[in-house]
């Protein structure tokens, strides 16, 4: 296998893409398989739940790798990045595959740190099943809850894998009860740990009288069957009225229906470290998890905004190609690598694919199949397959690939990745590196759905926005390692936003005469506040040609300049609808620049009348600490405008406190928590919503901005 190294220094490890050739005989690697034979499963869950070790154990058990690596040794298939090996935690998603019982199973390992939850959410459109991995010792943690919610919103089939069942200090019956309490009574065990810890007892296919650590195989089997037949009235009648025993083969279709509807969420017990439950988990994947024809169809939409309509995309290899890019890696040696899931049609190295609404297709040339860091060339991809292409500069995250203009304006329903809340102003250390910095930031931005680069003209600074301190630190370290760009940073910036609270109208006439041809443009528009989180909408309501159609984009450009740079405090605006309804033009003097200026100033005029406010990010703070520190913690939170939303007793004389707190108040929270708990406290933050800042804070922000605006 020919490796393409990324790092060239002595002793450095590669992080790029390795490519090898696949033997061409027979057309498909590992024998012929069709869409019905495929399973696509994403492993999601909190950091430390053992997802990477679980993937490694499954690959080894299925014969995909000769021996299982270990996170501690830095030799797993999934965690191949040097920083992942150093931290011993996943920082990015990784695609692997195996074959079991004639089924082709694609596994996507995802990071579990809260700072990288957006990357995990980003791969959900590539799978039919989300497998939530729960650490038997730690129980349900924040990221697990968030990703269960994301998978539910995506209407994915879900299952729960309880890992590390043989670890000390575990209470599996209590954990199962907690899972059912948190995620619903549809969470039912499909196997149970044996009383001696040597394995797990099947509760579905071939129930036996095995001695289990808790509950019983018979009762678990009965509850499973009852749950499945509830979705099929005819089958329920046979089962209840005639008392007929049902074979699992009879239950396949209602089982898949129960998964699709969320009526059943199977719970499995394993120990990835020792291999307990791994063979049974492979069987469950192969025999019960949905293939691409059985899962809920992906939510594709055709059109934009309110005009977007659902469009059916079918897993049919003979139709037009429709594929979705769920991951992009920018490699210094091979350029952009786009990982995509094929939902419809057939892709070959000779295929020519359009990216979104692009007019010029690219030729696939090298169609790749990923296995961790390694990829192998293959001849074909059909619905359900996960493939990759390289050296396509235009490819980007969330792009739709297609081979016909019939699929123009096609996109997937938004995945609602968490917004970037933490910021660092960055500038190059070495003079002359400004262009390299700009290019490196653009490439890193292309890889990460939760990383954004803002250029704040009012402050003459470039701000890197991310999910947290760890997220930004990893980005900066990668920028140094991959692109040899070092930066100095300023204290974190808070991602304030601006919006309006009432409708208003604005008007501006731009007229400039300089001796020759002048500039003239007049714009009247109205602004309306939108529901929080709606973003920005622009509508052309001009009638009678008061503003010629060719100048409307210029008006929108002027408005967007303020949307991006802010109207009152220098922060981007959000949740605003702008309707241009009237204006005037001149047959000679009207130009794009005139209408851009008129649009910008008319928008500023409207905003000034619409009672503008500054919004601040509010985060969900979750603190775990000893019971005796609870009073100090809640008192401290009240003093920083925090709202306590709940407390929960945890094992080991500890407590979990949940609160909503303004992000701006958490600058030194780590040191304060350490002081209050004697170093025994921990906390996580997750974006909740935006709220108006206090009037005094808004006044200070506006005053800081005005001199820069006037200057």
CB 614 within 8 A of CB 684: no
Supply 162's token pair: 């309880």
E strand intervals along 545-587: 576-584
Q: What is the DSSP string of 369-391?
A: EEETTEEEE-S-B-TT-EEEEES
Q: Confirm or reject CATH 3.30.70.240 for domain 615-696, answering yes or no.
A: yes
Give the chain's radius of gyration (CA, Å): 28
Supply 239's token pair: 């089962």
Of the listed ranges 204-208, 497-501, 655-659, the one predicted with least confidence? 204-208
**498-611 and 615-696 share one CATH topology?**
no
Q: What dihedral do alpha carbons 645, 649, 655, 660 form, nearest 10°?
A: -10
Supply 298's token pair: 């992906």
Nearest to 126 by CA among 398, 349, 367: 398
Q: 454 or 571: which carries more pLDDT confidence?
A: 571
User: Would you place residue 245 in the very low, low, confident or very high pLDDT band (cuts 50, 70, 90)?
Assistant: confident
Label residue 581 exposed, middle or buried (CB < 10 Å: 0-12, 13-18, 19+): middle
Q: For the chain, what percent of residues have pLDDT higher than 90?
A: 57
Of the listed ranges 27-36, 237-246, 253-262, 648-657, the one predicted with least confidence? 27-36
Q: What is the pLDDT of residues 414-451, one digit of tens each?
A: 877 777 777 788 888 888 888 889 888 888 888 888 88
Supply 145's token pair: 């809850």
Q: 41 or 116: which carries more pLDDT confidence?
A: 41
Q: Report the predicted TM-score, pTM, of the whole model to 2 decimal places.
A: 0.77
Which pLDDT score is estimated for 33?
87
Which pLDDT score is estimated for 259?
97
Supply 679's token pair: 């170093």
d(CA 224, CA 188): 7
Residues 176-186 have a mean pLDDT of 94
Which pLDDT score is estimated for 188?
97
Q: What is the pLDDT of residues 621-648, one digit of tens each?
A: 989 888 999 999 999 999 999 999 999 8
CB atoms within 10 A of CB 31: 11
pLDDT at 63 over 90: yes
d(CA 387, CA 372): 12
Pairing of strands 322-331, 335-344: antiparallel
Which pLDDT score is estimated for 406?
86
Which pLDDT score is estimated for 586?
87
User: Would you place residue 587 in the very low, low, confident or very high pLDDT band (cuts 50, 70, 90)?
Assistant: confident
Q: 20 or 183: which carries more pLDDT confidence?
A: 183
**How large is the angle between the packed helices 252-260 and 217-229, nearest 10 degrees?**
80
Q: CB-side exposure of 193: number of CA atoms within 13 Å?
A: 24
**Residue 579, phi then psi, degrees to nearest 5:** -120, 120
d(CA 415, CA 409): 17
Superfamily of domain 49-215+266-288: P-loop containing nucleotide triphosphate hydrolases (3.40.50.300)
Residue with tokens 């603190």: 623
Residues 291-315 have a mean pLDDT of 90
Nearest to 119 by CA among 406, 380, 475: 475
Of the listed ranges 237-251, 389-403, 661-675, the one predicted with least confidence? 237-251
Planar angle of CA 365, 371, 372, nearest 5 degrees: 115
Could you state, in order of their start, the residue ranges of all structural domains in the chain? 49-215+266-288, 306-412, 422-495, 498-611, 615-696
User: What are the distances in angstroms from CA 178 to CA 139, 141, 185, 379, 507?
Assistant: 8, 11, 10, 47, 59
| CATH annotation of 306-412 | 2.40.30.10
User: What are the distances in angstroms from CA 557 to CA 115, 165, 449, 520, 564?
Assistant: 33, 58, 25, 16, 10
pLDDT at 12 over 80: no
Q: What is the pLDDT of residues 529-542, one digit of tens each?
A: 999 888 899 999 99
Sheet with 362-363: strands ordered across: 18-20, 374-377, 368-371, 386-390, 335-344, 322-331, 400-402, 352-355, 362-363
Which pLDDT score is estimated for 459?
62
Q: 669 or 317: which carries more pLDDT confidence?
A: 317
Architecture of the domain delimited by 498-611: 2-Layer Sandwich (3.30)
Nearest to 592 by CA among 555, 622, 623, 620: 555
User: Would you place residue 659 in the very low, low, confident or very high pLDDT band (cuts 50, 70, 90)?
Assistant: very high
Supply 121's token pair: 């959410």
Helices and strands, number each (H, E), in the chain: 16, 35
Supply 510's token pair: 């731009």
User: Would you place residue 244 in the very low, low, confident or very high pLDDT band (cuts 50, 70, 90)?
Assistant: low
CB 487 within 8 A of CB 476: yes
Which pLDDT score is estimated for 418?
75
CB 465 within 8 A of CB 348: no
Q: For the chain, what percent of residues have pLDDT higher than 70?
A: 93
E strand intervals along 429-563: 452-456, 461-466, 487-489, 493-494, 497-499, 504-512, 519-529, 536-540
Which pLDDT score is estimated for 25?
32
CB 610 within 8 A of CB 528: no
User: What are the distances in angstroms from CA 60 to CA 67, 224, 268?
Assistant: 6, 30, 19
CB atoms within 10 A of CB 214: 13
Residues 650-668 have a mean pLDDT of 86
Supply 280's token pair: 């049974």
Nearest to 105 by CA among 37, 39, 61, 52: 39
**Residue 304, phi then psi, degrees to nearest 5:** -125, 150
Supply 338's token pair: 């786009």
**DSSP for residue 13:** P
Long-range pairs for 350-355: beta carbons < 8 A, 24 or more residues apart = 351/321, 351/403, 352/403, 353/321, 353/323, 353/401, 353/402, 353/403, 354/401, 354/402, 354/403, 354/404, 354/405, 354/407, 354/408, 355/392, 355/394, 355/395, 355/396, 355/399, 355/400, 355/401
Residue with tokens 């740190």: 113
Conformational region of residue 82, where left means phi above 0, alpha means psi within -120 to 50, and beta covers everything else: alpha
Supply 86's token pair: 């150093």
**DSSP for residue 406:** G
Residue with tokens 């809640």: 634
Partnered with residue 322 across adjacent β-strands are: 344, 402
Architecture of the domain delimited by 422-495: 2-Layer Sandwich (3.30)
CB 650 within 8 A of CB 702: no
Q: What is the pLDDT of residues 343-380, one digit of tens each?
A: 999 999 999 999 998 889 999 989 999 999 999 999 99
Residue with tokens 């402050």: 459
pLDDT at 708 over 50: no
Q: What is the DSSP string of 505-524?
A: EEEEEEEE--SSS-EEEEEE
């Amino acid at each position: 296998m020919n490796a393409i190294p990324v790092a060239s220094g002595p002793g450095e490890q590669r992080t790029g893409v390795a490519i090898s050739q696949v033997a061409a005989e027979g057309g498909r690697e590992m024998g012929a398989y069709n869409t019905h034979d495929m399973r696509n499963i994403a492993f999601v869950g909190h950091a430390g739940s053992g997802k990477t070790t679980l993937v490694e154990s499954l690959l080894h058990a299925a014969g995909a790798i000769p021996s299982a690596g270990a996170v501690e040794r830095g030799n797993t298939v999934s965690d191949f990045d040097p920083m992942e090996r150093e931290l011993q935690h996943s920082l990015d998603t990784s695609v692997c595959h195996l074959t079991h019982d004639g089924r082709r199973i694609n596994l996507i390992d995802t990071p579990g740190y809260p700072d990288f939850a957006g990357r995990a959410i980003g791969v959900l459109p590539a799978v039919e099943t989300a497998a939530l991995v729960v650490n038997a010792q730690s129980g349900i943690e924040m990221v697990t809850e968030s990703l269960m919610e994301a998978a539910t919103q995506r209407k994915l089939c879900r299952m729960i894998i309880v890992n590390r069942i043989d670890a000390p200090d575990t209470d599996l019956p209590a954990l199962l009860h907690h899972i059912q309490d948190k995620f619903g009574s549809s969470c039912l065990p499909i196997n149970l740990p044996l009383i001696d810890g040597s394995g797990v007892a099947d509760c579905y296919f071939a129930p036996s009288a095995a001695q289990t650590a808790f509950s019983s195989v018979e009762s678990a089997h009965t509850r499973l069957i009852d749950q499945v037949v509830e979705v099929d009235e005819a089958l329920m009648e046979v089962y209840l009225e005639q008392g007929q025993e049902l074979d699992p083969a009879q239950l396949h279709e209602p089982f898949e229906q129960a998964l699709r509807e969320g009526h059943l969420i199977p719970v499995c017990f394993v120990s990835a470290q020792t291999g307990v439950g791994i063979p049974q988990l492979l069987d469950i994947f192969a025999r019960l998890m949905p293939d691409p024809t059985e899962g809920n169809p992906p939510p594709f939409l055709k059109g934009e905004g309110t005009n977007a309509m659902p469009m059916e995309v079918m897993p049919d290899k003979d139709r037009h190609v429709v594929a979705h890019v769920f991951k992009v890696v920018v490699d210094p040696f091979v350029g952009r690598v786009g990982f995509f899931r094929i939902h419809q049609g057939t892709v070959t190295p000779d295929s020519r694919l359009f990216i979104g609404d692009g007019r010029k297709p690219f030729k696939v040339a090298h169609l790749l199949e990923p296995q961790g860091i390694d990829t192998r060339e293959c001849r074909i991809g059909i619905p359900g397959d996960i493939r990759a292409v390289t050296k396509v500069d235009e490819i980007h995250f969330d792009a739709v690939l297609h081979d016909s203009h019939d699929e123009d304006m096609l996109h997937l329903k938004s995945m609602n990745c968490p917004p970037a809340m933490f910021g660092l102003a960055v500038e190059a250390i070495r003079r002359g590196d400004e262009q390299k910095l700009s290019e490196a930031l653009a490439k890193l931005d292309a890889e990460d759905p939760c990383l954004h680069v803002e250029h704040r003209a009012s402050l003459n600074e470039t701000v890197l926005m991310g999910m947290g301190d760890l997220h930004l630190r990893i980005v900066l370290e990668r920028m140094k390692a991959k692109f040899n760009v070092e930066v100095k940073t300023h204290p974190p910036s808070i991602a304030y936003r601006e919006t309006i609270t009432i409708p208003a109208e604005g008007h501006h006439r731009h007229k400039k005469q300089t001796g020759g041809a002048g500039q003239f443009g007049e714009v009247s528009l109205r602004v309306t506040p939108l529901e929080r989180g709606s973003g920005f909408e622009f509508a052309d309501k001009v009638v009678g040609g008061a503003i010629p159609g060719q100048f409307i984009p210029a008006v929108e450009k002027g408005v967007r300049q303020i949307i991006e740079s802010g109207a009152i405090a220098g922060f981007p605006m959000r949740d605003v609808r702008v309707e241009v309804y009237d204006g005037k033009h001149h047959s000679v003097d009207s130009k794009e620049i005139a209408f851009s200026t008129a649009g910008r100033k008319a928008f500023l005029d409207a905003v000034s009348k619409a009672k503008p406010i500054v919004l601040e990010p509010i985060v969900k703070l979750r603190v775990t600490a000893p019971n005796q520190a609870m009073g100090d913690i809640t008192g401290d939170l009240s003093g920083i405008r925090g709202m306590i939303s709940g407390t929960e007793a945890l094992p080991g004389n500890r407590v979990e406190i949940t609160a909503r707190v303004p992000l701006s108040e958490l600058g030194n929270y780590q040191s304060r928590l350490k002081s209050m708990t004697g170093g025994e406290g921990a906390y996580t933050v997750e974006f909740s919503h935006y709220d108006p800042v206090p009037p005094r804070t808004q006044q200070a922000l506006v005053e800081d901005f005005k001199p820069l605006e006037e200057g």
